[in-house]
Amino acid sequence: MNKSIYLALDFPTWADSKQFLESNNLQGSPVKVGMELFYREGPYVIEKLKENNHPIFLDLKLHDIPTTVMKAMRNIAKLEVDMVNVHALGGSEMIRSAKEGLDIGGSNGHQTKLIAVTLLTSMDNETMNSELLLPGELDKNAVHFAEFAKQNGADGVVCSVYEARQMKAACGSSFLTVTPGIRLKQASSDDQKRIATPNFARENGSDVLVIGRSVTKAADPYQAYKQVVKEWQHGIKT
Ligand code: C5P
């Protein structure tokens, strides 16, 4: 799974996603299914993607009481996706329960990786201080969340590229850093605050890229995807 690029399928339906993947020759590429698509289609979309050999990151960012998260994860484990995530802000007991649910629900020797969201990449320091009332520096807080996520069973974190090196230093090189907020040079930043190019991510401790609009909203999504692959896997700046 290391060094994969998960393409964010931020589409309203499976039909839209299928059409996008087929018309841009992206069949079989790793994909991220988020709330928009999953809440519409449910496990059906996972079945369809698996039939078409897509590795899947199920990005549902669970955040509830520990028992509820454990039971939800027990069911999610049966979908046999590569990765699923929780908000680290749910606390250590919730993270342990998520892991327990994945362990209990897993079958066929399949192990779904548990990833923790530290602080959303759309969050900035000022918002974290003034709205969440979390004092201090955003990157230090994100590392703190990663450390306790790891201690409680997480296999990695979703984090900004700008924090990936610190995450590795604090949690070890095998702790996965999954980085959204990726933009090709020419693309708009949209609502992401801490953006980076695939090449910058490659050079700064990112293990797994998550990319959406830079590809899905590009004039030529196939070419944009190829550009991401070139930068990410071969370090070729374009
Ligand atoms: O379009 P863009 O490349 O910004 O898409 C990023 C994707 O990654 C979205 O689906 C978003 O929900 C997701 N994501 C994120 N920040 C996180 C976790 C997931 O942007 N911390």
pLDDT digits (tens, 9 = 90+) for 136-153: 999 999 999 999 999 999
Q: How confident is the model over 160-172, as a mean pLDDT? A: 94
Structural domain range at position 12? 5-234
Kind of pairing, strands 113-117 and 83-87? parallel
Report which of 168, 232, 158 is spatially closest to residue 205, judged by C-alpha positions: 168
Task: Locate the ligand 1 atom nearest the alpha carbon of residue 117 and give its number.
Answer: 21
Q: How far is the CA of 8 from the centre of ligand 1 (A)?
A: 7
Cα(180) to centroid(ligand 1), Å: 5
Q: Is 163 in the pocket of ligand 1 (CB under 6 A)?
A: no
Share of the chain above pLDDT 90, in %: 86
Q: What is the distance between the alpha carbons of residues 238 and 228, in angstroms, rounded to a whole number?
A: 9
Ligand 1 mutation pick, 35, 37, 139, 210, max ligand atoms within 8 A of CB: 210
Ligand 1: residue of 85, 121, 162 to mutate (most ligand atoms within 8 A of CB) is 121
Question: In whole angstroms, what is the distance from residue 95 CA to residue 218 CA?
Answer: 36
64 CA to centre of ligand 1 in angstroms: 20
Given a cut of 70, whether residue 238 has pLDDT beyond it is no
Give me the active site residues, please.
Answer: 61
CB 117 less than 6 A from any atom of ligand 1: yes
Q: What is the largest CA-CA distance in the chain?
A: 48
Q: Is the CB of 194 under 6 A from ligand 1?
A: no
Q: What is the pLDDT of residues 121-133, one digit of tens each?
A: 788 899 999 999 9
Q: Examine the pLDDT at 185 and tell me if it is beyond 60.
A: yes
Is 81's pLDDT higher than 90? Answer: yes
- Mean pLDDT, range 74-91, rounded to an integer: 98
Distance CA 210, CA 81 (A): 16
What is the pLDDT at residue 101?
Answer: 98
Residue 219 has pLDDT above 70, yes or no: yes
The CATH number given to whatever domain includes residue 131 is 3.20.20.70
Residue 87 confidence class, pLDDT cut points 50, 70, 90: very high
- pLDDT of amino acid 234: 84
Distances from the Cα of 74 to the Cαs of 1, 69, 92, 112, in angstroms? 22, 9, 18, 11
C-beta 158 within 6 A of ligand 1: yes
**For ligand 1, atom 20, which residue shows the shortest CA distance?**
180
What is the structure's pLDDT at 2?
54
Q: How many distinct structural domains can be found in the chain?
A: 1
Q: How far is the CA of 179 from the centre of ligand 1 (A)?
A: 9
pLDDT band, residue 3 (cuts 50/70/90): confident
CA of 106 to the centre of ligand 1 (A): 26
Over the chain, what is the mean pLDDT?
Answer: 94
